[in-house]
Amino acid sequence: MKKFVSIIVLLVTVTLSQAQIPLFNHHKKGFVDDNGKTIIPFEYDNVKEFRDSLAFVQKDNFWGVINKKNEVVIPFEYTDAESFSEGLAKVEKNGHKFFINTIGQTVFYVDDYSYCEKFHHGLCKVGKNGMTGFIDVHGNLVIDTKYEIARTFNRGLSEAYGDGHWGAINTIGDTIIPFVYKQIWSNDGYYLVKKEGKWGILDSNNKVVIPIEYDFLDPFYEGLARTERNGKMGFIDKNSRVVIPFQYDGAFEFVNGLSVVFIGNKYGFIDKKNRRVVPLKYDVVKPFKPKNALADVSLNDKWGCVNTAGKVVVPVVYDDTTIVGDYVILRKNGKEGVFDKNGHVCIPLQYDWIRYISGNLFSVGLGDLKSGVINTQGQIIIPIE
């Protein structure tokens, strides 16, 4: 039987000094740090991520709570549990659902609700009779279950849907953005709205930032919003000023100061001054991801990677490339390996499959039955067997 090592692209939690990464080993779970050192032994049937320095772990079908020293701080007595959030966790016992605090005390029951999400900014989304509302940390219903949809609060507002229209409410249920829009999306303190087929942007006080007059409009990313005019795409700033002319057949949002654009069927990257950092010569380009230093590019059915300066770091000669953190998983002739962001080999192309875990850890496989965990220094964390 195949040993499931880590293809759970895992529950990863990071503290200031050390990561706690759940892993399987011989059908038991424990935690390792981002160098692969075992910090919680592989002795549990299941585990959840550390939150508030505590983690739910399962033994013999019951959940309890341990601290980072693997000390049991809340006994194994729950048939179901969710991780702590803002000092509270939802658990189930004897058919009842309720929230407990970090010392195991019952705070309030939630049997009356069909679902409860985790707490964010002191509020928890709940459902009842197909409608949505919010409770506070004492279990009090502070926003009635009257909305068909209500999104998690962000910067003091929740976008909500009712009676066929979208609007936004504050944490005491007052309507801040009226329910007159067909769509609404929050983005960095601004709200992209659609009304009568046109798009615009509001701020959190319902003030119009971008007039509701565009056929197509994206949220702001790094200060610019993608929009369209006469079939061509360009970018405007928060004053509705055209920053990048409407000259591209397609464009993507800015990430790390760069946007993927294309004319015809050739792709490249531009910066915020419309300079072509990467020439429009590739057949396919995948956008940069936040904090990633590389992007995948393809030419003539081969893949490689470029950096934010437009330099080819991984030659465009591979059957596939996948960027994960500061690394690139490469595939060629049926084998996989790993390069770092500078194009140096970390793991040779000799494995049948590779999956990223976290930090510098990767699960690797040989055939369908053998798998293990190694790091980018070549150290074996879990033997391949």
pLDDT of residue 24: 58
- List Cβ neighbours of 347 (8 Å cut-off, separation of 6 or more): 337, 338, 354, 362, 364, 374, 376, 378
pLDDT of 332 > 70? The answer is yes
pLDDT band at 379 (very low <50, low <70, confident <90, very high): confident
The pLDDT, as a whole number, for residue 367 is 84
Q: What is the average pLDDT value for the chain, to the nearest integer?
A: 90
The pLDDT assigned to 160 comes to 98
* pLDDT value at 189 more than 70: yes
Task: For residue 231, give the 3-state DSSP assignment.
Answer: coil
Q: Which of 8-22, 92-106, 231-245, 300-314 has the highest mean pLDDT?
A: 92-106
Q: What is the pLDDT of residue 371?
A: 84
Contact 156, 143 (CB under 8 A): no
Residue 345: pLDDT band with limits 50, 70, 90: very high
319: closest CA among 328, 330, 329, 311?
330
Residue 9 above 60 pLDDT?
A: no
Interior CA angle at 208 toward 205 and 209, to 5°? 100
Mean pLDDT over residues 336-347, rounded?
A: 93
> Is the predicted pLDDT of residue 7 greater than 60, yes or no?
no
How, if at all, do strands 259-263 and 266-270 pair?
A: antiparallel
- The predicted pLDDT at position 378 comes to 83
Percent of the chain scored above 70 by pLDDT? 93
Residue 37 has pLDDT above 90, yes or no: no
Which pLDDT band, with edges at 50, 70 and 90, does 36 fall under? confident
Look at 3-17, 112-126, 172-186 and tell me which has the smallest mean pLDDT: 3-17
**Residue-level pLDDT at 19:** 57
Q: In the structure, what pLDDT confidence band is assigned to residue 32 with cuts at 50, 70 and 90?
A: confident
Q: Say whether pLDDT at 342 is over 80.
A: yes
Range with the poorest average pLDDT among 55-59, 171-175, 180-184, 253-257: 253-257
Q: List the one residue out of 109, 148, 108 whose CA is nearest residue 128.
A: 148
- pLDDT score for 8: 33
Q: Say which range, 78-87, 330-339, 365-374, has the weakest mean pLDDT.
A: 365-374
What residues contact 287, with CB distance under 8 A and at least 6 apart?
Answer: 252, 253, 255, 259, 260, 295
pLDDT at 15 over 50: no
| pLDDT for res 358 | 83
pLDDT in tens, 200-210: 999 999 999 99
pLDDT in tens, 218-259: 988 899 999 998 889 999 998 889 999 999 999 999 998 999
- The reported pLDDT for the residue numbered 22 is 58
For the chain, report the end-to-end CA distance as a whole number of angstroms: 10
pLDDT higher for 213 or 110? 110
Taking residues 47-58, report their average pLDDT: 93
Residue 62 neighbours by CB distance under 10 Å:
16
**Three-class DSSP category at 288:** coil
**60 pLDDT above the threshold of 50:** yes
Q: Which amino acid, one-letter code, is at 115?
A: Y
Question: What distance in Å separates the CA atoms of residue 99 and residue 92, rounded to the nearest whole number?
Answer: 9
